[in-house]
Amino acid sequence: MHPDPLLKQVMDTWMPRFLGGGIAYYDIETVLSRIHDWDDWGPEWIKMAEMHESLAQEAWESGRRLTAIQGFERAAAYYHIAYFIYVRDLDLHNHGLQKMVECHERALPYMEPAVEKIRIPYQDTHILGLFSTPRGEGPFPVLIILSGLDSTKETRHRARGTYLRRGLAVLSLEGPGQGELSQRMKISPNFEWAVSAAIDYLETRKDVDSSRIGIFGMSMGGFYAPRAAAFEPRITALAGSCGEYDYSESFMLDTRPLVSQEAFIYYSGSKTREEAYEFSKQLTLEGVADRITCPLLVVHGKQDPIVPWQHGKMIVDHVSSKDKQFILFEEGIHSLSNIRYKAGPLVADWLAEKLGGTVV
């Protein structure tokens, strides 16, 4: 894929994610042909994102609204690729993040299924989310979807249709250290506080049945979700994909891409790898997993280079839930992005069944 070892590692790890996130294979080849090493990643992907944004703007100005909306959504995805784990140039990182949000919000009022951006009171500030409801009359059971280390509410909410069709409202939540909020809030070991604030907000909505709240997280979100369920009794179903039992045990892995470690250093507010490692010791389910009693499904990939599959098994082994299941996919990589067609429907059907949605 690329002669540079670091770039090869990045592509081996995330190529299925890029393709699944709407990045064209031709554009990937084009950018890689222009890149000599990792320092070129951000600048070259910004250029590609700007090209897609200009196509969207041209369509908008000529009155082709549908094409423009699709173009702005696509540009947002490309800006995300430019910055998400690229933190060596923070000016470029911040620019990519801001442009991702800007392009997404250009399309937001016209999205189908409809999407509402919400502000949720949190301590002395606020956190953010994207919210959608199924067709028909509510109140609906609701699924809270958690982002991971480098994903965002925008990238996670792309999958809303999978859950809306199953009768679930969807809140893609962004908490401390994630997406827009990463510029003013760093990672918090107590992410459950953000989830509790989100549930408080959901209880105020008449279109939501707050007695049927599920939560699902992938990657680091697969750690945050069980952490939240351990402290939040209002969660009635929990699903996780490729999440850590103890973050410190995966942070220093040789198979974890160096740029993912660099991203954690930044998003945690640490200055060095050693400082980040010490901080990561606070991100653990040790001593709290046994508080989880709601139905639980954990899926993991045996080929995951970022979070060893044994972490998923440990989560299931340590919870007190009577209804719990661990499914290991032999061919699966991180977040099971190479076999979404297997893992995605399985998790969605399980959540719909547990929350009273539909699978027919």
Nearest by Cα to 244 from 224, 263, 261: 224
The string of pLDDT tens digits covering residues 242-286 is 999 999 999 999 899 999 999 999 999 999 999 999 999 999 999
Phi, psi of 72 (to 5 degrees): -70, -40
CATH of 5-110, one of 3.40.50.720, 1.10.287.3510, 3.30.930.10, 1.20.1440.110: 1.20.1440.110
Residue 283 CA to residue 208 CA, distance in Å, equals 31
Radius of gyration of the chain (CA): 19
- The whole-chain average pLDDT of the chain stands at 97
Phi/psi for 291 (5° steps) reads -75, -15
At 76, the pLDDT band (50, 70, 90 cuts) reads very high
Q: Is the pTM higher than 0.95?
A: yes
Torsion angles phi and psi, residue 329, rounded to 5: -95, 115
Three-class secondary structure assignment of 167-178: CCEEEEEECCCC
Find the farthest-apart pair of alpha carbons in the chain and give their distance in angstroms, rounded.
Answer: 59
What is the pLDDT at residue 87? Answer: 97
| Runs of H (alpha helix) within the chain | 5-20, 25-34, 41-61, 65-83, 90-107, 153-157, 160-164, 192-202, 221-231, 247-251, 258-267, 273-280, 309-318, 340-355
161-194 pLDDT, tens digit per residue, is 999 999 999 999 999 999 999 999 999 999 999 9
Q: Which part of the chain is CATH 1.20.1440.110? A: 5-110
- Please give the share of the chain, as a percent, with pLDDT higher than 90: 98
| Arithmetic mean of pLDDT, 2-19 | 94
Which class for 184: exposed (0-12), middle (13-18), buried (19 or more C-beta within 10 A)?
exposed
| Segments of the chain assigned to CATH 3.40.50.1820 | 116-355
- Say yes or no: domain 116-355 is CATH 3.40.630.30: no
Element (H, E) at 136: none
Q: What is the mean pLDDT of residues 45-70?
A: 98
Give me the mean pLDDT over the 130-150 stretch: 96
Mean pLDDT of the region 142-170: 97
* pLDDT grade for 2, boundaries at 50, 70 and 90: confident
pLDDT in tens, 83-139: 999 999 999 999 999 999 999 999 999 999 999 999 999 999 999 999 999 999 999
Output the pLDDT for position 34. 97
Q: From CA 37, how far away is CA 69, in angstroms rounded?
A: 33
Q: What is the pLDDT of residue 1?
A: 67
Residue 19 has a pLDDT of 97
C-alpha 251/C-alpha 82 separation (Å) is: 22
